[in-house]
C-alpha cells in the first residue's frame, strides 16, 4: 500500500486506456466472414498480400520470420482504422497490458530502460518490493542476471530472465556514484504498484494524489483516506493532474465513497445501447473537497472530475482536462493475443460530452512552472485557500 508521503512535483502523464470490459474470442469463423464484405475476403487484397510476400521471398536480404510477418498483418489491420486508441496486442504485449491495468506484476519491483552501451538502467524501485528491500536504487546499471552478461539483451528478455528464475535471482549492478559493482539476491514475487500517495498539507487538510486508476487503486485510496482521517483531516484535496486514466470500475468504486445517490457515468455504443454506473449514496463524502486537474488529466480522471462537478460535491481547480471520453474494450483471442477497440463514448451524469472537450475547471489556475514542493504549487495553494474555513454544509453554492 502507498506510504504516507507527499510528492515533490508531479508524475509525468502518459497516454493510458479506459478498459471497460474484457471478453474471450472463440476463434476464426471463416463461414461467417465469407458472407460479409471484408478487407481480407476481397480477392484483390488477398492477391496483393500474396504478391507482397513473394517479393519479400525473392528480394529481401535477410531471412523472414513467418510469425512476425503474421503479427505485422494483424497490427496493420487495426492500425488502418486511424484510431490512436485501437490496436492489436501480441500475447506478450497483452500480458504486459493486463498486468498494468491490474496494478500488480510478478518480478522484483523495478522499471528499467536501456543504456547507450547496451545495459539496463534502473529508473524506479517500487516501495516494499524485493528490489527495494534488497537495497537496489534508481540509477543502478544492471550488468548481469544470474551471472549472465546482459549487454545487448533486449529489455523484455532481461525481464523474462529475472521472472523465470525458479527461486532466487542474482542481480549484479554498477552503482555509478560509488563506481562499485554490487550483487543483490532476491526472490521474485507479486508486486503491487502504488497509484495513491497521501499526506497532510496542514493540521486540517488532507491531500491524496491518484496517478492512475488500476484494479488496486480503490483499496489504496481507502487506506489513504482512513489514515488521513486518523490524522485529523477535515477537508480534502484530490490531485488528478497528469493522471492518464485507467479502469472505469476503479474510478466508480472510489466515487461511491464520495457522491450522493444517483448516476455516476454512462456509455453509449454505436447502436445506442447504454451501460450505466450508479452510486447508492450510503458512503457520501461529508468533507469539503477540491479536485486538481490539468491538460493531462484524461479518461477515468475526467469521469471523476465530471461526476464531482455535476453533483457539486467539490470544486474543480486547474486547467481544462484532456478530453478523452471514449471507451476501449479489450477482447482476448484464443491464442493469447488480443485486440483493443474503441467501442463506446461516455457521458457525465448530466449527459455532458467529454470527448474532444474535456472538463472545464470551476476555478481556472494556470501553472507555468514546475514546483519542487506541494506548498510551492500554485494550484495546491489555490485549493488550500478555497477550502480554508469551509464546511461540508456550505462550501459550494448552488448553480
- Looking up residue 261, the CATH number of its domain turns out to be 3.90.226.10
What is the pTM assigned to this prediction?
Answer: 0.80
81, 216: one domain: yes
177, 198: one domain: no
Span 206-260, pLDDT tens digits: 999 999 999 999 999 999 999 999 999 999 999 999 999 999 999 999 999 999 9
Span 42-61, pLDDT tens digits: 889 999 999 999 999 999 99
From 280, 253, 228, select the one nearest 103 (Cα to Cα).
253
Residue 39: pLDDT band (50, 70, 90) is confident
pLDDT attached to residue 84: 94
Span 110-145, pLDDT tens digits: 999 999 999 999 999 988 899 999 999 999 999 999
Mean pLDDT of the chain: 88
- The verdict on residue 399 lying in a domain is no
Report how many domains make up the chain: 2
Average pLDDT over residues 84-98: 91
221, 367: one domain: yes
Q: Provide φ and ψ at 291, rounded to 5°.
A: -120, 125
Radius of gyration of the chain, Cα coordinates, nearest whole angstrom: 24
Angstrom distance (rounded) from CA 119 to CA 392: 54
252, 156: one domain: no
- The verdict on residue 91 lying in a domain is yes
140, 161: one domain: yes
- The verdict on residue 396 lying in a domain is no
Residue 27: pLDDT band (50, 70, 90) is very low
354, 328: one domain: yes
pLDDT attached to residue 36: 61
Residue 104: pLDDT band (50, 70, 90) is confident
182, 251: one domain: no
80, 213: one domain: yes
pLDDT, greater one: 14 or 373: 373
161, 32: one domain: no
The residue range of the domain holding 219 is 1-103+193-389
- The verdict on residue 395 lying in a domain is no
- The verdict on residue 147 lying in a domain is yes
- The verdict on residue 337 lying in a domain is yes
| Last residue within a domain, chosen from 192, 213, 240 | 192
- Is residue 117 exposed (0-12), middle (13-18) or buried (19+ Cβ within 10 Å)? exposed
Span 322-351, pLDDT tens digits: 999 999 999 999 999 999 999 999 999 999
Residue 389: pLDDT band (50, 70, 90) is low
| Last residue within a domain, chosen from 130, 158, 192 | 192
- The verdict on residue 397 lying in a domain is no
207, 296: one domain: yes
256, 200: one domain: yes
Average pLDDT over residues 293-302: 97
Secondary structure of the chain in the HEC alphabet?
A: CCCECCCCCCCCCCCCCCEEEEEECCCCCHHHHHCCCCHHHCHHHHHHHHHHHHHHHHHCCCCCCHHHHHHHHHHHHHHCCCCCCCEEECHHHHHHHHHHHHCEEEECCEEEEECCCCCEEEEEECCCCHHHHHCCCCCCEEEEECCEECCCCCHHHHHHHHHCCCCCEEEEEEECCCCEEEEEEECCEEEECCCEEEEECCCCEEEEEECCECCCHHHHHHHHHHHHHHCCCCEEEEECCCCCCECHHHHHHHHCCCCCCEEEEEEEECCCCEEEEEECCCCCCCCCEEEEECCCCCCHHHHHHHHHHHCCCCEEEECCCCCCCEEEEEEECCCCCEEEEEEEEEEECCCCECCCCCCCCCEECCCCCCCCCHHHCHHHHHHHHHHCCCCCCCCCCCC
- Is residue 346 exposed (0-12), middle (13-18) or buried (19+ Cβ within 10 Å)? buried
- Looking up residue 156, the CATH number of its domain turns out to be 2.30.42.10
Span 166-197, pLDDT tens digits: 789 999 999 998 878 999 999 999 888 899 99
- The verdict on residue 394 lying in a domain is no
| Last residue within a domain, chosen from 139, 159, 192 | 192
248, 351: one domain: yes
Average pLDDT over residues 58-86: 95
Amino acid at each position: 500500500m502507498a506510504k504516507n508521503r507527499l510528492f515533490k512535483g508531479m508524475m509525468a502523464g502518459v497516454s493510458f486506456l479506459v478498459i471497460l470490459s474484457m471478453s474471450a474470442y472463440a476463434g476464426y469463423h471463416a463461414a461467417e466472414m465469407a458472407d460479409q464484405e471484408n478487407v481480407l475476403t476481397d480477392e484483390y487484397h488477398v492477391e496483393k498480400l500474396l504478391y507482397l510476400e513473394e517479393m519479400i521471398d525473392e528480394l529481401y536480404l535477410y531471412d523472414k520470420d513467418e510469425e512476425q510477418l503474421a503479427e505485422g498483418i494483424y497490427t496493420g489491420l487495426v492500425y488502418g482504422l486511424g484510431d490512436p486508441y485501437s490496436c492489436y496486442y501480441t500475447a506478450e504485449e497483452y500480458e504486459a497490458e493486463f498486468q498494468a491495468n491490474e496494478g500488480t506484476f510478478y518480478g522484483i519491483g523495478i522499471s528499467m530502460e536501456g543504456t547507450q552501451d547496451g545495459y539496463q538502467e534502473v529508473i524506479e524501485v517500487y516501495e516494499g518490493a524485493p528490489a527495494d528491500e534488497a537495497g537496489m536504487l534508481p540509477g543502478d546499471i544492471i550488468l548481469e542476471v544470474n551471472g549472465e552478461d546482459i549487454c545487448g539483451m533486449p529489455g523484455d528478455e532481461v525481464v523474462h530472465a529475472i521472472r523465470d528464475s525458479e527461486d532466487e535471482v542474482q542481480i549484479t549492478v554498477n552503482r555509478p556514484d560509488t563506481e562499485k559493482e554490487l550483487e543483490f539476491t532476491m526472490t521474485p514475487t507479486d508486486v503491487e504498484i502504488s497509484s495513491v500517495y497521501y499526506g497532510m498539507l496542514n493540521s486540517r487538510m488532507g491531500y491524496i494524489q491518484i496517478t492512475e486508476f488500476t484494479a488496486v487503486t480503490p483499496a489504496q485510496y481507502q487506506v489513504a483516506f482512513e489514515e488521513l482521517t486518523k490524522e485529523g483531516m477535515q477537508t480534502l484535496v484530490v490531485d488528478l493532474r497528469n493522471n492518464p486514466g485507467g479502469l472505469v470500475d476503479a474510478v466508480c468504486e472510489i466515487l461511491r465513497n464520495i457522491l450522493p445517490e444517483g448516476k455516476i457515468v454512462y456509455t453509449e455504443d454505436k447502436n445506442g445501447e447504454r451501460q450505466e454506473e450508479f452510486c447508492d449514496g450510503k458512503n457520501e463524502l461529508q468533507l469539503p473537497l477540491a479536485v486538481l486537474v490539468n491538460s493531462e488529466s484524461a479518461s477515468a480522471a475526467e469521469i471523476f472530475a465530471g461526476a464531482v462537478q455535476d453533483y457539486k460535491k467539490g470544486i474543480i481547480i486547474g486547467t481544462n482536462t484532456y478530453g478523452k471520453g471514449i471507451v476501449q474494450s479489450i477482447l482476448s483471442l484464443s491464442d493469447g493475443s488480443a485486440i483493443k477497440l474503441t467501442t463506446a463514448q461516455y457521458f457525465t451524469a448530466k449527459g455532458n460530452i467529454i470527448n474532444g472537450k474535456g472538463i472545464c475547471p470551476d476555478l481556472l489556475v494556470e501553472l507555468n512552472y514546475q514546483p519542487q514542493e506541494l506548498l510551492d504549487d500554485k494550484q495546491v495553494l489555490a485549493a488550500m485557500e478555497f477550502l480554508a474555513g469551509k464546511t461540508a454544509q456550505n462550501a459550494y453554492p448552488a448553480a
